[in-house]
């Protein structure tokens, strides 16, 4: 069987490992080594654009730190000294590790040994020479950052030069209920965003999707921009990453979702830049 990595294939099992998987990431701009703590496909949110099949509500299971260590060492050795790039038909320009990203099939900060895992990944990546040259990223919905175990993990991430990519898809109660299927308030998210930015470099990531052909409403735009004004005054966050659908959702709402055009993303990005933020856009 021919194996190939593309930006539209984020199969968590492509490398045959439990916790470690490779992707070609649009946002990272090359090879990203993903770390999946949520091997049970459990998350405390249910974003309607999520590509995880069989997603359930819940937390990550207990982590086998020894297996995580073995897998990450094996994988990094395969990339650095083995024939990984040839087997997976990775183009020459992408044959560099852009980052190690703690992401996966649910909210990664829900794992019990989150801080230990962050430190372990950092130690291994440093020994293998991946850090400090490559980024260390946590991709999170931010809902649990107020917890002590998560803050300790962010401190470890910061010590390794890492950064947090914090989800904010909507700044309205209705939008968050629709897009993320969460009852967590905007106020709570902004509080956790402030905490995150005080501990570690933090960027916002926002997925814009067209639901049922309704477009990106003026109500949603205004609420989001108003939230950014609050963020500007209360948190040390300077960069926004905008993106839209690139792969099919595996949620019941999939048939009602569509990607926004580059023009829509670019226009909104310009509105955000007017508030003093740096903005990157991925289609």
**Chain segment 256-265, per-residue pLDDT in tens:** 999 999 999 9
Q: Give the alpha-carbon dihedral of 125, 236, 224, 254, to 10 degrees.
A: 10
* pLDDT at position 154: 98
Tell me what the pLDDT averaged over the chain comes to. Answer: 92
pLDDT per position as a tens digit, 118-149:
999 999 999 999 999 999 999 999 999 999 99
246-261 core/surface letters (b: 16 or more CB in 10 A; e: else): eeebebebeeebebbe
Structure-model confidence comparison of residues 245 and 1, the more confident one? 245
CA 85 centroid distance within chain: 24
CB 43 within 8 A of CB 25: no
* pLDDT at position 2: 46
* pLDDT at position 20: 96
Lowest mean pLDDT among 94-98, 111-115, 180-184: 94-98
Enumerate long-range contacts of 121-127, CB under 8 Å, 24 or more apart.
121/35, 121/68, 121/72, 122/156, 122/157, 122/159, 122/160, 122/162, 124/69, 124/72, 124/73, 124/76, 125/72, 125/76, 125/100, 125/160, 126/160
Structure-model confidence comparison of residues 89 and 254, the more confident one? 254
Lowest mean pLDDT among 46-50, 93-97, 208-212, 245-249: 93-97
* pLDDT at position 283: 64
Q: Given a cut of 60, is residue 6 above it in pLDDT? A: no
Q: Rg for the chain (alpha carbons), in Å?
A: 18
pLDDT per position as a tens digit, 49-60:
999 999 999 999
* pLDDT at position 274: 97
CB 188 within 8 A of CB 151: no
- All domains of the chain in start order, with CATH: 20-282 (3.20.20.70)
CB 227 within 8 A of CB 240: no
Q: Running DSSP on this structure, what letter comes out for residue 216?
A: S
Residue 231's pLDDT band (cuts 50, 70, 90): very high
Q: Given a cut of 90, is residue 246 above it in pLDDT? A: no
pTM: 0.93
């Amino acid at each position: 069987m021919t194996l190939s990595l593309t930006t539209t294939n984020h199969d968590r099992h492509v490398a045959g490992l439990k916790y470690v998987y490779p992707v070609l990431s649009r946002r990272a701009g090359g090879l990203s080594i993903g770390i999946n703590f949520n091997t049970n496909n459990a998350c405390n949110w249910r974003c309607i654009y999520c590509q995880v099949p069989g997603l359930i509500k819940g937390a990550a299971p207990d982590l086998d730190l020894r297996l995580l260590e073995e897998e990450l060492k094996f994988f990094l050795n395969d990339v650095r000294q083995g024939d990984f790039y040839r087997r997976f038909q990775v183009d020459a320009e992408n044959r560099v590790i852009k980052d190690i990203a703690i992401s996966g099939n649910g909210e990664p900060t829900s794992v019990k040994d989150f801080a230990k895992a962050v430190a372990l990944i950092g130690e291994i990546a440093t020994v293998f020479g991946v850090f400090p040259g490559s980024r260390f990223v946590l991709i999170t919905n931010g809902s649990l950052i107020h917890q002590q175990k998560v803050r300790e993990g962010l401190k470890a991430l910061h010590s390794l030069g890492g950064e947090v990519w914090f989800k904010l898809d909507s700044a309205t109660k209705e939008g968050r209920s629709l897009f993320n299927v969460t009852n967590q308030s905007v106020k709570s998210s902004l509080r956790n965003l402030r905490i995150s930015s005080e501990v570690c470099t933090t960027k916002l990531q926002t997925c814009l999707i067209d639901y049922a052909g309704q477009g990106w409403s003026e109500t949603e735009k205004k609420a989001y921009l108003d939230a950014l004004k609050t963020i500007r005054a209360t948190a040390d966050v300077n960069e926004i990453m905008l993106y839209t659908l690139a792969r099919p959702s595996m949620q019941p709402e999939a048939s009602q979702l569509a990607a926004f055009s580059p023009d829509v993303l670019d226009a909104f990005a310009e509105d955000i830049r007017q508030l003093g933020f740096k903005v990157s856009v991925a289609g």
